[in-house]
Amino acid sequence: TYGDWSSDVCSSDLRDTRGGLHFSNAPAEPQYQYYMPDSWKVRRWGRSGGTGRIDGARRKAYDGLIAEVARRHRVDTALVKAVIRAESDFVPQAVSPKGALGLMQLMPATARLRGVWRAFEPRQNVEGGVTHLRYLLDRYNGNLRFALAAYNAGEKAVEKHGGVPP
């Protein structure tokens, strides 16, 4: 059962021209609306109520921090922002089903390896995530696809598959 939001999901104003439904926590096209059931928001992000729309101020709140850390580690600022958007959508308290934490969704072992002891503290999380991203870019000789695959799936998965895991 989908609870009391199922009728909202099936409404015609959320369907595309072919009748399909598109779900995303980060819609890339303006014709799609941000939608998240309230029950999922409470469990996942610790929020309740509201419209479920993306908060632009939340995204901009970390611009200075991201620029500073990215510059220091010689990582493109846009890349860091893209990783944060994909991983947590700029929610510093985000926790993945696998246990990844914070803005850059650091696994606890990776956080410790990178000196992050408070994974929900944005400065520590971004510092650790960018440090790890720099390490992966160096390890894979600047191959962005492999570095991002290793960031997401782990270095062992990239090694096992000889590249981007399926």
- CA–CA gap between residue 67 and residue 64 (Å, rounded): 5
The CA–CA distances, whole Å, from 132 to 15, 28, 80, 81, 105 equal: 40, 27, 11, 15, 11
- CA–CA gap between residue 61 and residue 89 (Å, rounded): 12
Long-range Cβ contacts of 25-34 (<8 Å, 24+ apart): 25/89, 26/54, 26/85, 26/86, 26/89, 27/54
Q: Which is the catalytic residue, given 29, 68, 87, 155?
A: 87
> Is 87 one of the catalytic residues?
yes
Positions marked catalytic: 87
